[in-house]
Amino acid sequence: MLADTLVKNGAIKFGEFKLTSGAISSYYVDIKEVSTHPQILKEIVENIKPHLTADIIAGVELGAVPLVVATSILTDKPYIIIRKERSHGTGSLIIGNNFEGKEIDLIEDVVTTGGSVVKAVEILRENKAIVKRAICIVDREEGGRKNLLDHNIELIPLVKISQIKR
């Protein structure tokens, strides 16, 4: 079971952590670290695959990049990366093309409030993509599901934090 793999391999760290949302938490879900291990990454992707319905996948830099790349390789689906800011190169927020008018499944490592997912979906929708769902590895169950529903995005968590937090 994926939840067991995440716990066993240290994806949950305890201490004091500042989250992307700005909140302080007594634990941190570190999918980036465990996704550097090929077998764990493969297990994560095997859990993502049954939930995919779109022909294109997307993810936000940095945490989702290994997830979308591995998923792309194992499913033969093209992928898009959404940058958080226009910092260099072409200045585009989207890496990838041929997605206008097409449905995209967004993949995210961890969802807390859902703010990062909402921003990514807004960028994709502004560029004429259709995004109806986000698949996350871990839902911290801190309002993300409701926030995403408010933006017409279904959240599909592979694991809920209530399943693994000890």
Q: Tell me, yes or no, whether 13 lies in a domain.
A: no
Q: Tell me, yes or no, whether 75 lies in a domain.
A: yes
Q: Tell me, yes or no, whether 1 lies in a domain.
A: no
- For residue range 82-102, list pLDDT tens digits in order: 998 776 666 688 999 889 999
CATH of residue 99's domain is 3.40.50.2020
Q: What share of the chain in percent tops pLDDT 90?
A: 77
- For residue range 21-77, list pLDDT tens digits in order: 788 998 899 999 999 999 999 999 999 999 999 999 999 998 999 999 999 999 999
Q: How far is CA 84 from CA 94, 115, 139, 164, in A?
A: 9, 12, 20, 29
Q: Tell me, yes or no, whether 20 lies in a domain.
A: no
Q: Are 143 and 113 in contact (CB under 8 A)?
A: yes
Q: Tell me, yes or no, whether 66 lies in a domain.
A: yes
Letter for the amino acid at 126?
E
Sign of CA dihedral 103, 107, 110, 116: negative
Q: Tell me, yes or no, whether 144 lies in a domain.
A: yes
Sign of CA dihedral 110, 111, 112, 118: positive
pLDDT score recorded for residue 85: 77
Q: Are 59 and 65 in contact (CB under 8 A)?
A: yes
Give me the domain span that covers residue 147: 31-164
- For residue range 25-37, list pLDDT tens digits in order: 988 999 999 999 9
Q: Tell me, yes or no, whether 61 lies in a domain.
A: yes
pLDDT score recorded for residue 82: 96
- Output DSSP code: residue 153: -
- For residue range 99-148, list pLDDT tens digits in order: 999 999 999 999 999 999 999 999 999 999 999 999 999 999 999 999 99
Q: How far out from the chain centre does Cα 149 lie?
A: 16
Average pLDDT, the chain: 93
